[in-house]
Amino acid sequence: MAPLPLVSPPLENSNFNLDIFSVAGFFGGDEVLESMSTIHLTDGRKWRGWYNSPGAYTVAKSVGRIANSQFWRGLFPGSCQDPASSFGLDGKKGPEYMAVLSGTKMTSGYMGYLLAQHVKHYPEVTNLFDGESRTTKNTGVTIIDIQDVRHLPHLSSQSSTFHLLLSYFTMISSIACAIFCLILFDDKFCFTAILLGTIIGGISTLIIGMGTLTLQTVFQPAPGSPPGDGVLVGEEFIVLRGKEGHVNAITKGKFHLKLKGAPKYHIIGICSVLYFLQFIVQLFLIPQGHLIGQIMFLSSFAISWIYNGAIASIDKEAKQAKLLKKSVTMDIKKYTLPNRTRAVVFTCLSLRRSLEEIEQSPVYSDFNPESLLKSMLPNDTRVWHKWRSVVKDILLRNQDPQYFDDALDDEDMADLREDQRNLLSTLLKDAKCAYKMYHNISDYTDPRTKSLTEK
Protein backbone atom coordinates (compact mmCIF):
# COMPACT_ATOMS: atom_id res chain seq x y z
CA MET A 1 0.00 0.00 0.00
CA ALA A 2 1.45 3.36 -1.07
CA PRO A 3 2.21 5.79 1.80
CA LEU A 4 -0.19 8.65 2.21
CA PRO A 5 1.17 12.17 1.56
CA LEU A 6 1.75 14.34 4.64
CA VAL A 7 -0.59 16.98 3.27
CA SER A 8 -3.62 16.25 1.11
CA PRO A 9 -2.94 17.91 -2.27
CA PRO A 10 -5.13 21.02 -2.63
CA LEU A 11 -7.55 21.06 -5.57
CA GLU A 12 -7.09 17.29 -5.86
CA ASN A 13 -10.65 16.72 -7.08
CA SER A 14 -10.60 19.60 -9.54
CA ASN A 15 -11.29 18.78 -13.20
CA PHE A 16 -9.08 21.67 -14.29
CA ASN A 17 -5.64 20.64 -15.60
CA LEU A 18 -3.03 23.38 -16.01
CA ASP A 19 -1.80 23.23 -19.63
CA ILE A 20 1.76 24.49 -19.94
CA PHE A 21 2.67 22.80 -23.23
CA SER A 22 3.16 26.17 -24.91
CA VAL A 23 5.46 27.62 -22.25
CA ALA A 24 7.51 24.75 -20.83
CA GLY A 25 10.23 24.92 -23.48
CA PHE A 26 9.77 28.29 -25.14
CA PHE A 27 9.06 30.79 -22.37
CA GLY A 28 11.99 33.02 -21.36
CA GLY A 29 14.57 31.63 -23.77
CA ASP A 30 16.00 35.02 -24.77
CA GLU A 31 16.48 36.04 -21.15
CA VAL A 32 18.26 32.77 -20.42
CA LEU A 33 20.67 33.26 -23.33
CA GLU A 34 21.39 36.84 -22.31
CA SER A 35 21.98 35.68 -18.76
CA MET A 36 24.34 32.94 -19.94
CA SER A 37 26.38 35.52 -21.85
CA THR A 38 27.55 37.01 -18.55
CA ILE A 39 28.91 33.73 -17.17
CA HIS A 40 32.43 34.48 -18.41
CA LEU A 41 32.34 38.13 -17.35
CA THR A 42 31.61 37.51 -13.66
CA ASP A 43 33.59 35.50 -11.15
CA GLY A 44 31.76 32.45 -9.77
CA ARG A 45 28.76 32.59 -12.12
CA LYS A 46 29.50 29.08 -13.40
CA TRP A 47 28.68 27.69 -9.94
CA ARG A 48 25.31 29.41 -9.71
CA GLY A 49 23.26 27.73 -12.44
CA TRP A 50 21.53 25.09 -10.31
CA TYR A 51 17.91 26.13 -10.84
CA ASN A 52 15.00 25.08 -13.04
CA SER A 53 15.25 27.53 -15.91
CA PRO A 54 12.72 28.09 -18.71
CA GLY A 55 13.54 28.35 -22.40
CA ALA A 56 15.25 24.95 -22.76
CA TYR A 57 14.30 24.60 -26.44
CA THR A 58 15.64 28.05 -27.40
CA VAL A 59 18.85 27.53 -25.44
CA ALA A 60 19.44 24.11 -27.00
CA LYS A 61 19.14 25.46 -30.54
CA SER A 62 21.38 28.47 -29.92
CA VAL A 63 24.14 26.84 -27.88
CA GLY A 64 24.14 23.75 -30.11
CA ARG A 65 25.46 25.77 -33.05
CA ILE A 66 28.78 26.16 -31.23
CA ALA A 67 29.49 22.43 -31.64
CA ASN A 68 31.54 22.07 -34.80
CA SER A 69 31.10 18.79 -36.68
CA GLN A 70 28.82 17.30 -39.33
CA PHE A 71 26.97 15.31 -36.68
CA TRP A 72 26.10 18.38 -34.63
CA ARG A 73 25.28 20.37 -37.78
CA GLY A 74 22.64 17.77 -38.50
CA LEU A 75 21.10 18.10 -35.05
CA PHE A 76 21.41 21.88 -34.87
CA PRO A 77 21.08 23.28 -38.41
CA GLY A 78 22.65 26.61 -39.19
CA SER A 79 26.08 28.10 -39.55
CA CYS A 80 28.63 27.24 -36.88
CA GLN A 81 29.10 30.10 -34.43
CA ASP A 82 32.24 31.23 -32.67
CA PRO A 83 31.71 30.93 -28.87
CA ALA A 84 32.41 34.62 -28.22
CA SER A 85 29.99 35.74 -30.95
CA SER A 86 27.38 33.18 -29.88
CA PHE A 87 27.25 34.67 -26.38
CA GLY A 88 27.36 38.25 -27.66
CA LEU A 89 30.91 38.88 -26.43
CA ASP A 90 32.24 39.88 -29.84
CA GLY A 91 31.11 40.45 -33.40
CA LYS A 92 30.12 44.13 -33.58
CA LYS A 93 32.07 46.45 -35.87
CA GLY A 94 33.69 49.64 -34.64
CA PRO A 95 34.44 52.96 -36.39
CA GLU A 96 36.68 53.29 -39.42
CA TYR A 97 40.35 53.48 -38.51
CA MET A 98 43.05 55.32 -40.45
CA ALA A 99 46.76 55.13 -39.59
CA VAL A 100 48.58 58.34 -40.44
CA LEU A 101 52.03 56.81 -40.99
CA SER A 102 51.40 53.39 -42.52
CA GLY A 103 48.34 54.55 -44.47
CA THR A 104 46.28 51.60 -43.21
CA LYS A 105 42.52 51.99 -43.61
CA MET A 106 40.25 49.44 -42.02
CA THR A 107 37.07 48.93 -40.04
CA SER A 108 37.96 48.39 -36.42
CA GLY A 109 36.57 45.41 -34.54
CA TYR A 110 34.74 44.93 -31.28
CA MET A 111 37.43 46.64 -29.21
CA GLY A 112 37.05 49.76 -31.35
CA TYR A 113 33.29 49.58 -30.84
CA LEU A 114 33.64 49.25 -27.05
CA LEU A 115 36.14 52.11 -26.88
CA ALA A 116 33.87 54.37 -28.97
CA GLN A 117 30.93 53.62 -26.66
CA HIS A 118 33.08 54.23 -23.59
CA VAL A 119 34.46 57.63 -24.65
CA LYS A 120 31.02 58.76 -25.82
CA HIS A 121 30.00 58.93 -22.16
CA TYR A 122 33.43 59.76 -20.76
CA PRO A 123 32.85 62.06 -17.77
CA GLU A 124 36.04 64.13 -17.80
CA VAL A 125 35.57 66.52 -20.73
CA THR A 126 37.35 69.79 -21.50
CA ASN A 127 35.17 72.18 -23.52
CA LEU A 128 37.19 74.21 -26.02
CA PHE A 129 34.87 77.13 -26.70
CA ASP A 130 35.66 80.81 -27.03
CA GLY A 131 33.93 84.04 -27.95
CA GLU A 132 34.60 83.41 -31.63
CA SER A 133 33.07 79.94 -31.65
CA ARG A 134 30.89 79.09 -34.62
CA THR A 135 28.64 76.49 -33.07
CA THR A 136 26.97 73.91 -35.30
CA LYS A 137 27.19 70.46 -33.72
CA ASN A 138 29.49 69.81 -30.78
CA THR A 139 32.11 67.27 -31.79
CA GLY A 140 34.28 65.32 -29.39
CA VAL A 141 37.97 64.61 -29.88
CA THR A 142 39.42 62.01 -27.52
CA ILE A 143 43.18 61.63 -27.35
CA ILE A 144 44.30 58.23 -26.09
CA ASP A 145 47.93 57.38 -25.41
CA ILE A 146 48.22 53.61 -25.16
CA GLN A 147 51.04 52.85 -22.78
CA ASP A 148 50.93 49.08 -22.39
CA VAL A 149 48.97 45.97 -23.33
CA ARG A 150 48.95 42.99 -20.99
CA HIS A 151 48.05 39.46 -21.99
CA LEU A 152 45.88 38.40 -19.05
CA PRO A 153 45.13 34.65 -18.81
CA HIS A 154 41.49 35.29 -17.89
CA LEU A 155 39.22 38.34 -17.86
CA SER A 156 36.35 38.66 -15.36
CA SER A 157 34.95 40.98 -12.70
CA GLN A 158 33.26 40.67 -9.33
CA SER A 159 29.54 39.98 -9.01
CA SER A 160 27.39 42.50 -7.14
CA THR A 161 26.00 41.53 -3.73
CA PHE A 162 22.42 41.87 -4.99
CA HIS A 163 22.92 39.47 -7.89
CA LEU A 164 24.83 37.07 -5.65
CA LEU A 165 21.99 36.90 -3.10
CA LEU A 166 19.38 36.66 -5.85
CA SER A 167 21.20 33.68 -7.39
CA TYR A 168 21.21 31.83 -4.05
CA PHE A 169 17.52 32.57 -3.56
CA THR A 170 16.74 31.25 -7.06
CA MET A 171 18.65 28.00 -6.51
CA ILE A 172 17.07 27.42 -3.09
CA SER A 173 13.61 28.11 -4.55
CA SER A 174 13.96 25.47 -7.28
CA ILE A 175 15.15 22.87 -4.77
CA ALA A 176 12.40 23.82 -2.32
CA CYS A 177 9.70 23.53 -5.02
CA ALA A 178 10.97 20.06 -5.91
CA ILE A 179 10.99 18.96 -2.26
CA PHE A 180 7.47 20.29 -1.68
CA CYS A 181 6.20 18.34 -4.70
CA LEU A 182 7.68 15.08 -3.44
CA ILE A 183 7.30 15.22 0.35
CA LEU A 184 4.22 17.38 0.90
CA PHE A 185 2.10 16.52 -2.14
CA ASP A 186 3.54 13.16 -3.30
CA ASP A 187 3.80 14.47 -6.89
CA LYS A 188 6.67 12.49 -8.38
CA PHE A 189 6.05 13.80 -11.90
CA CYS A 190 6.50 17.48 -11.07
CA PHE A 191 9.33 16.63 -8.65
CA THR A 192 11.19 14.83 -11.43
CA ALA A 193 10.57 17.65 -13.92
CA ILE A 194 11.88 20.35 -11.56
CA LEU A 195 14.85 18.30 -10.38
CA LEU A 196 15.81 17.37 -13.96
CA GLY A 197 15.73 21.03 -15.04
CA THR A 198 17.83 22.02 -12.03
CA ILE A 199 20.48 19.35 -12.63
CA ILE A 200 20.75 19.96 -16.39
CA GLY A 201 20.94 23.73 -15.89
CA GLY A 202 23.66 23.38 -13.26
CA ILE A 203 25.78 20.92 -15.25
CA SER A 204 25.52 22.92 -18.49
CA THR A 205 26.29 26.24 -16.78
CA LEU A 206 29.31 24.68 -15.07
CA ILE A 207 30.68 23.20 -18.32
CA ILE A 208 30.10 26.36 -20.35
CA GLY A 209 31.43 28.54 -17.53
CA MET A 210 34.76 26.68 -17.47
CA GLY A 211 35.80 28.54 -20.61
CA THR A 212 38.38 31.31 -20.48
CA LEU A 213 37.85 34.80 -21.88
CA THR A 214 40.97 36.58 -23.13
CA LEU A 215 41.95 39.54 -25.28
CA GLN A 216 43.29 38.30 -28.61
CA THR A 217 45.37 40.70 -30.69
CA VAL A 218 48.56 41.04 -32.76
CA PHE A 219 51.07 41.68 -29.97
CA GLN A 220 54.15 41.47 -32.20
CA PRO A 221 53.80 43.44 -35.47
CA ALA A 222 56.21 43.06 -38.37
CA PRO A 223 59.77 44.29 -37.66
CA GLY A 224 60.23 47.91 -38.69
CA SER A 225 56.56 48.79 -38.39
CA PRO A 226 56.03 52.52 -37.74
CA PRO A 227 54.12 53.75 -34.68
CA GLY A 228 50.45 52.90 -34.88
CA ASP A 229 49.20 56.48 -34.49
CA GLY A 230 45.86 56.95 -36.15
CA VAL A 231 42.25 57.99 -35.68
CA LEU A 232 38.91 56.25 -35.35
CA VAL A 233 36.52 58.27 -37.49
CA GLY A 234 32.84 58.38 -36.54
CA GLU A 235 30.47 60.96 -35.12
CA GLU A 236 33.37 61.77 -32.83
CA PHE A 237 37.11 61.38 -33.37
CA ILE A 238 39.27 59.09 -31.26
CA VAL A 239 43.02 59.63 -31.63
CA LEU A 240 45.11 56.55 -30.87
CA ARG A 241 48.83 57.05 -30.19
CA GLY A 242 51.35 54.40 -29.32
CA LYS A 243 53.36 51.48 -30.63
CA GLU A 244 51.90 49.46 -33.46
CA GLY A 245 51.43 46.42 -31.22
CA HIS A 246 49.62 48.50 -28.62
CA VAL A 247 47.26 50.19 -31.08
CA ASN A 248 46.50 46.77 -32.60
CA ALA A 249 44.74 45.85 -29.36
CA ILE A 250 42.06 48.41 -30.23
CA THR A 251 41.95 48.20 -34.02
CA LYS A 252 42.42 44.44 -34.44
CA GLY A 253 41.74 43.08 -30.96
CA LYS A 254 38.84 40.81 -30.09
CA PHE A 255 37.53 38.87 -27.14
CA HIS A 256 38.35 35.20 -27.54
CA LEU A 257 36.31 32.65 -25.62
CA LYS A 258 37.81 29.19 -25.39
CA LEU A 259 35.38 26.60 -24.06
CA LYS A 260 36.04 23.03 -23.03
CA GLY A 261 36.46 20.58 -25.89
CA ALA A 262 37.86 23.02 -28.48
CA PRO A 263 37.83 23.01 -31.46
CA LYS A 264 34.99 20.51 -32.02
CA TYR A 265 33.16 21.36 -28.79
CA HIS A 266 31.48 17.96 -28.55
CA ILE A 267 30.76 18.52 -24.86
CA ILE A 268 28.84 21.70 -25.72
CA GLY A 269 26.77 19.66 -28.16
CA ILE A 270 26.02 17.19 -25.35
CA CYS A 271 24.85 20.08 -23.16
CA SER A 272 22.47 21.13 -25.93
CA VAL A 273 21.10 17.58 -26.17
CA LEU A 274 20.49 17.68 -22.41
CA TYR A 275 18.49 20.87 -22.82
CA PHE A 276 16.40 19.13 -25.49
CA LEU A 277 15.94 16.22 -23.10
CA GLN A 278 14.73 18.64 -20.43
CA PHE A 279 12.28 20.17 -22.88
CA ILE A 280 10.82 16.82 -23.97
CA VAL A 281 10.63 15.24 -20.52
CA GLN A 282 8.96 18.27 -18.97
CA LEU A 283 6.57 18.39 -21.90
CA PHE A 284 5.24 14.92 -20.99
CA LEU A 285 5.66 14.85 -17.22
CA ILE A 286 4.02 18.09 -16.10
CA PRO A 287 0.47 17.35 -17.39
CA GLN A 288 0.57 14.11 -15.38
CA GLY A 289 1.10 15.90 -12.06
CA HIS A 290 -1.32 17.46 -9.61
CA LEU A 291 -2.44 21.04 -10.08
CA ILE A 292 -0.49 22.16 -7.03
CA GLY A 293 2.60 20.41 -8.37
CA GLN A 294 2.18 22.22 -11.65
CA ILE A 295 1.92 25.48 -9.74
CA MET A 296 5.18 24.63 -7.95
CA PHE A 297 6.77 23.96 -11.33
CA LEU A 298 5.60 27.30 -12.72
CA SER A 299 6.72 29.04 -9.51
CA SER A 300 10.27 27.76 -10.03
CA PHE A 301 10.05 28.97 -13.63
CA ALA A 302 8.81 32.41 -12.56
CA ILE A 303 11.57 32.91 -9.99
CA SER A 304 14.18 31.75 -12.50
CA TRP A 305 12.75 34.10 -15.11
CA ILE A 306 13.05 37.05 -12.68
CA TYR A 307 16.66 36.10 -11.93
CA ASN A 308 17.55 35.70 -15.61
CA GLY A 309 15.93 39.04 -16.34
CA ALA A 310 17.95 40.72 -13.59
CA ILE A 311 21.20 39.24 -14.93
CA ALA A 312 20.23 40.08 -18.52
CA SER A 313 19.73 43.73 -17.52
CA ILE A 314 23.42 44.06 -16.60
CA ASP A 315 25.22 46.42 -18.98
CA LYS A 316 27.42 43.79 -20.55
CA GLU A 317 29.27 46.25 -22.77
CA ALA A 318 30.18 48.39 -19.75
CA LYS A 319 31.63 45.30 -18.08
CA GLN A 320 33.60 44.47 -21.21
CA ALA A 321 34.89 48.04 -21.41
CA LYS A 322 36.22 47.68 -17.86
CA LEU A 323 37.89 44.40 -18.80
CA LEU A 324 39.43 46.12 -21.83
CA LYS A 325 40.89 48.80 -19.55
CA LYS A 326 42.36 46.04 -17.37
CA SER A 327 44.29 44.71 -20.35
CA VAL A 328 45.13 47.99 -22.07
CA THR A 329 46.73 50.80 -20.04
CA MET A 330 45.47 54.07 -21.52
CA ASP A 331 45.76 57.76 -20.76
CA ILE A 332 42.51 59.36 -21.95
CA LYS A 333 41.79 63.06 -22.49
CA LYS A 334 38.59 64.23 -24.12
CA TYR A 335 37.79 67.62 -25.63
CA THR A 336 34.62 69.04 -27.09
CA LEU A 337 34.78 71.56 -29.93
CA PRO A 338 31.90 73.66 -31.27
CA ASN A 339 31.94 72.32 -34.83
CA ARG A 340 33.35 69.48 -36.90
CA THR A 341 35.78 71.67 -38.86
CA ARG A 342 37.66 72.66 -35.73
CA ALA A 343 37.54 69.09 -34.46
CA VAL A 344 39.21 67.84 -37.64
CA VAL A 345 42.09 70.34 -37.39
CA PHE A 346 42.49 69.62 -33.68
CA THR A 347 42.63 65.88 -34.44
CA CYS A 348 45.30 66.32 -37.10
CA LEU A 349 47.42 68.46 -34.80
CA SER A 350 47.24 65.85 -32.05
CA LEU A 351 48.54 63.25 -34.50
CA ARG A 352 51.43 65.35 -35.72
CA ARG A 353 54.94 64.99 -34.26
CA SER A 354 57.43 67.75 -33.67
CA LEU A 355 59.56 68.92 -36.62
CA GLU A 356 62.68 67.67 -34.85
CA GLU A 357 61.29 64.12 -34.81
CA ILE A 358 60.16 64.37 -38.41
CA GLU A 359 63.62 65.40 -39.52
CA GLN A 360 65.44 62.84 -37.38
CA SER A 361 63.38 59.81 -38.40
CA PRO A 362 62.52 59.08 -42.06
CA VAL A 363 59.31 57.32 -41.03
CA TYR A 364 57.66 60.65 -40.20
CA SER A 365 57.99 61.77 -43.79
CA ASP A 366 55.13 59.33 -44.46
CA PHE A 367 52.76 61.51 -42.45
CA ASN A 368 49.97 62.26 -44.92
CA PRO A 369 47.55 64.83 -43.52
CA GLU A 370 45.79 65.33 -46.86
CA SER A 371 44.52 61.75 -46.91
CA LEU A 372 43.48 62.09 -43.29
CA LEU A 373 41.62 65.34 -43.98
CA LYS A 374 39.76 63.78 -46.91
CA SER A 375 38.67 60.86 -44.73
CA MET A 376 37.28 63.09 -41.99
CA LEU A 377 35.85 65.85 -44.23
CA PRO A 378 35.26 64.32 -47.69
CA ASN A 379 33.42 67.37 -49.14
CA ASP A 380 34.39 67.56 -52.81
CA THR A 381 34.21 71.24 -53.81
CA ARG A 382 36.83 73.80 -54.77
CA VAL A 383 36.46 75.63 -51.45
CA TRP A 384 37.10 72.46 -49.48
CA HIS A 385 40.01 71.47 -51.71
CA LYS A 386 41.62 74.84 -51.01
CA TRP A 387 40.88 74.58 -47.29
CA ARG A 388 42.52 71.14 -47.08
CA SER A 389 45.54 72.43 -48.99
CA VAL A 390 46.04 75.30 -46.52
CA VAL A 391 45.65 73.03 -43.46
CA LYS A 392 48.05 70.50 -44.99
CA ASP A 393 50.70 73.20 -45.43
CA ILE A 394 50.27 74.25 -41.81
CA LEU A 395 50.68 70.67 -40.60
CA LEU A 396 53.69 69.81 -42.75
CA ARG A 397 55.62 73.08 -42.94
CA ASN A 398 54.79 74.58 -39.56
CA GLN A 399 53.52 77.78 -41.18
CA ASP A 400 52.72 80.79 -39.04
CA PRO A 401 48.98 81.10 -38.13
CA GLN A 402 48.92 84.25 -40.28
CA TYR A 403 49.09 81.82 -43.22
CA PHE A 404 45.38 81.09 -42.66
CA ASP A 405 44.53 84.74 -43.35
CA ASP A 406 46.92 85.15 -46.29
CA ALA A 407 45.52 82.10 -48.10
CA LEU A 408 42.54 84.07 -49.40
CA ASP A 409 44.90 86.35 -51.35
CA ASP A 410 46.33 83.52 -53.49
CA GLU A 411 45.97 84.00 -57.24
CA ASP A 412 44.01 80.78 -57.74
CA MET A 413 41.30 82.17 -55.44
CA ALA A 414 40.73 85.31 -57.51
CA ASP A 415 37.82 83.88 -59.49
CA LEU A 416 35.88 82.63 -56.44
CA ARG A 417 32.38 84.00 -56.05
CA GLU A 418 31.64 86.17 -53.05
CA ASP A 419 29.72 83.40 -51.25
CA GLN A 420 32.59 80.96 -51.83
CA ARG A 421 35.12 83.44 -50.46
CA ASN A 422 32.94 83.98 -47.39
CA LEU A 423 32.66 80.23 -46.80
CA LEU A 424 36.41 79.71 -47.20
CA SER A 425 37.08 82.62 -44.84
CA THR A 426 34.80 81.05 -42.22
CA LEU A 427 36.43 77.62 -42.56
CA LEU A 428 39.94 79.05 -42.35
CA LYS A 429 38.93 81.00 -39.26
CA ASP A 430 37.76 77.75 -37.68
CA ALA A 431 41.08 76.11 -38.52
CA LYS A 432 43.03 79.02 -37.07
CA CYS A 433 41.01 78.91 -33.82
CA ALA A 434 41.58 75.16 -33.52
CA TYR A 435 45.33 75.71 -34.09
CA LYS A 436 45.48 78.30 -31.29
CA MET A 437 43.41 76.14 -28.93
CA TYR A 438 45.65 73.15 -29.44
CA HIS A 439 48.79 75.15 -28.69
CA ASN A 440 47.19 76.66 -25.59
CA ILE A 441 46.70 73.30 -23.87
CA SER A 442 50.30 72.13 -23.72
CA ASP A 443 49.65 70.56 -20.32
CA TYR A 444 47.14 68.19 -21.91
CA THR A 445 48.85 67.27 -25.14
CA ASP A 446 51.29 64.50 -25.91
CA PRO A 447 54.72 65.27 -24.42
CA ARG A 448 56.23 64.31 -27.77
CA THR A 449 54.79 67.51 -29.28
CA LYS A 450 56.16 69.78 -26.56
CA SER A 451 58.56 71.46 -28.94
CA LEU A 452 55.56 72.70 -30.93
CA THR A 453 53.68 74.06 -27.94
CA GLU A 454 56.72 76.00 -26.77
CA LYS A 455 57.07 77.94 -29.99
Residue 277: other Cβ atoms inside 10 A: 14
What's the pLDDT tens digit per position in 4-53? 677 776 766 666 555 554 465 677 788 898 899 889 888 888 999 999 99
Given a contact cutoff of 8 angstroms between Cβ atoms, the answer to whether 20 and 286 are in contact is: yes
Among the listed residues 431, 367, 426, the one whose alpha carbon sits nearest the alpha carbon of residue 399: 431
What's the pTM?
Answer: 0.83
Sheet of strand 328-337, all strands in order from the earlier edge strand to the far edge: 105-107, 96-99, 230-233, 237-241, 139-149, 328-337, 125-127
d(C-alpha 190, C-alpha 169), whole Å = 20
Radius of gyration of the chain (CA): 30
What's the pLDDT tens digit per position in 80-131? 888 988 888 888 899 999 988 877 889 999 999 999 999 988 888 888 887 7
User: What pLDDT sits at residue 451?
Assistant: 35
d(C-alpha 415, C-alpha 420), whole Å = 10
SS3 of residue 140 by DSSP: strand
| Consecutive H or E run containing 141 | strand 139-149
Q: Which distant-in-sequence residues (6+ apart) come within 8 Å of 359 by Cβ? A: none
Domain boundaries, the chain: 20-90+154-216+257-319, 354-446
Q: Which residues pair with 97 in a beta bridge?
A: 106, 232
User: What pLDDT sits at residue 156?
Assistant: 77
User: What pLDDT sits at residue 266?
Assistant: 93
Listed as ranges, residues in the chain with pLDDT below 50 are 21-22, 354-356, 358-359, 443-455
User: What pLDDT sits at residue 442?
Assistant: 53
Q: Which distant-in-sequence residues (6+ apart) come within 8 Å of 25 by Cβ? A: 54, 55, 56, 57, 58, 278, 279, 282, 283
d(C-alpha 445, C-alpha 281), whole Å = 65
Whether the upstream peptide bond of residue 263 has omega within 30° of 0, thus cis, is yes
User: What pLDDT sits at residue 82?
Assistant: 87
CB-based burial label for 326 (10 Å; 0-12, 13-18, 19+): middle
Alpha-helical segments (H) within 210-354:
244-251, 266-285, 291-312, 316-327, 340-351
d(C-alpha 399, C-alpha 392), whole Å = 10
User: What pLDDT sits at residue 355?
Assistant: 37
Residue type for position 315: D
User: What pLDDT sits at residue 173?
Assistant: 97
Among the listed residues 175, 172, 181, the one whose alpha carbon sits nearest the alpha carbon of residue 195: 175
d(C-alpha 272, C-alpha 401), whole Å = 67
